[in-house]
């Protein structure tokens, strides 16, 4: 006679997710050892019977619940029959809201210039997917950074559809709208004028009148082509007949053309100031 030692019946269970998303269903699989051809399964949640006689068990657990499985083997000559699995304590994770923010490298932007848009996801997972859109049409690549030429002479809407997978759940879809604004290309124009009629040889005051100069433009006055004056909107001098006065302005605005701009010339003309003379009269008081 040959005696074979009686094998021990064991069972282990594996959840499809733990931690799991709150409110989601979890599938448990029982892995029997020496269960025989026709084992029976009894699932339990917190010690109470649940599920059906199956090697799998599907339900939506709560945080902290304890799941076990009792296996009854159909084999003869086994020990530890029925066998109970080690308990699995379920841990719930909160539902996280998927969101995305996008930023532009410049806005307002210069006409026909390239703008870099960057997506900043929240709860996107390890490998999120990106679909950029311009005015509702797909654009760019599956990347958190995209280079575009927005505007096209009219305001548009730029937003990515952001997909993130968390804890093996279904992808979530979030849209973020970003108004790329409307550009207004600045033109050019610049002139200077004298504050009042200037007589040659007398002091004259000149004022620059910039267009699209920005908040802090710089000025370079020129007298007969030579730098003069200070970095100011006004210039004072004692011009002579034939002198030319002009000003060069450098705008600090973006998206301007013709920068720096040069004003037209003011050329001094006329006759010198005549002297005043009179004949003294000794029999009257003369002013």
Confidence (pLDDT) at 154: 45
Gap between the Cα atoms of 132 and 138, Å rounded: 6
Confidence (pLDDT) at 95: 83
Exposed, middle or buried by CB within 10 Å (0-12, 13-18, 19+), for 264?
Answer: exposed
Q: How many CB atoms lie within 10 A of CB 162?
A: 28
Q: How many CB atoms lie within 10 A of CB 97?
A: 9
Confidence (pLDDT) at 140: 80
State the number of CA atoms in the 13 A half-sphere of 237 facing the CB. Answer: 22
Of the candidates 183, 177, 184, 113, which has an alpha carbon nearest to the alpha carbon of residue 149?
113
Contact status, residue 112 vs residue 149, Cβ threshold 8 Å: yes
pTM over 0.75: no
Q: Measured at the alpha carbon of residue 100, what is the angle toward residues 129 and 131, in degrees to the nearest 5?
A: 35
Confidence (pLDDT) at 96: 82
Q: Measured at the alpha carbon of residue 29, what is the angle toward residues 28 and 33, in degrees to the nearest 5?
A: 145
Domains in the chain: boundaries: 10-93, 99-179, 190-267
Of the candidates 85, 2, 4, 72, which has an alpha carbon nearest to the alpha carbon of residue 39?
72
Per DSSP, 232 falls in state S
CATH placement of domain 190-267: 2.60.40.10
Q: Do domains 99-179 and 190-267 have the same CATH topology?
A: yes
> pLDDT tens across 260-280, in order?
999 888 888 766 566 777 666
Arch. (CATH architecture) of 99-179? Sandwich (2.60)
Which positions of the chain have pLDDT values less than 70?
150-189, 195-202, 270-274, 278-287
Confidence (pLDDT) at 178: 35
Confidence (pLDDT) at 186: 39
CATH placement of domain 10-93: 2.60.40.10
Gap between the Cα atoms of 84 and 210, Å rounded: 89
Confidence (pLDDT) at 59: 95
Q: List residues bridging with 57 in a β-sheet.
A: 28
Confidence (pLDDT) at 182: 34
């Amino acid at each position: 006679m040959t005696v074979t030692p009686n094998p021990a019946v064991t069972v282990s269970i594996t959840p499809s997710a733990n931690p799991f998303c709150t409110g989601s269903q979890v599938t448990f699989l029982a892995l029997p050892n020496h269960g025989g051809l026709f084992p029976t399964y009894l699932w339990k949640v917190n010690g109470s019977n649940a599920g059906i006689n199956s090697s799998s068990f599907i339900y939506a657990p709560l945080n902290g619940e304890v799941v076990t499985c009792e296996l009854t083997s159909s084999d003869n000559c086994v020990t530890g029959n029925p066998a109970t699995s080690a308990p699995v304590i379920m841990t719930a994770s909160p539902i996280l809201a998927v969101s995305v923010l996008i930023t532009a490298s410049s806005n307002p932007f210069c006409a026909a210039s390239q703008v870099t848009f960057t997506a900043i996801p929240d709860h996107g997972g390890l490998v999120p997917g990106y679909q950029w859109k311009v005015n509702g049409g797909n654009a760019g690549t599956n990347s958190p950074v995209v280079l575009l030429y927005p505007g096209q002479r009219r305001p548009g809407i730029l937003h990515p559809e952001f997909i993130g997978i968390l804890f093996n759940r279904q992808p979530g879809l979030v849209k973020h709208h970003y108004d790329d604004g409307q550009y207004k290309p600045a033109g050019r124009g610049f002139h200077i004028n004298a504050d009042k009629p200037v007589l040659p040889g007398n002091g004259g005051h000149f004022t620059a009148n910039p267009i699209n100069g920005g908040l802090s433009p710089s000025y370079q006055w020129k007298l007969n082509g030579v730098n003069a004056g200070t970095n100011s909107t006004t210039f004072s001098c004692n011009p002579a007949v034939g002198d030319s006065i002009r000003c060069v302005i450098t705008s600090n605005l973006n998206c301007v053309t013709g920068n720096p701009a040069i004003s037209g010339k003011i050329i001094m003309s006329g006759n010198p100031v005549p002297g005043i003379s009179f004949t003294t009269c000794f029999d009257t008081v003369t002013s």
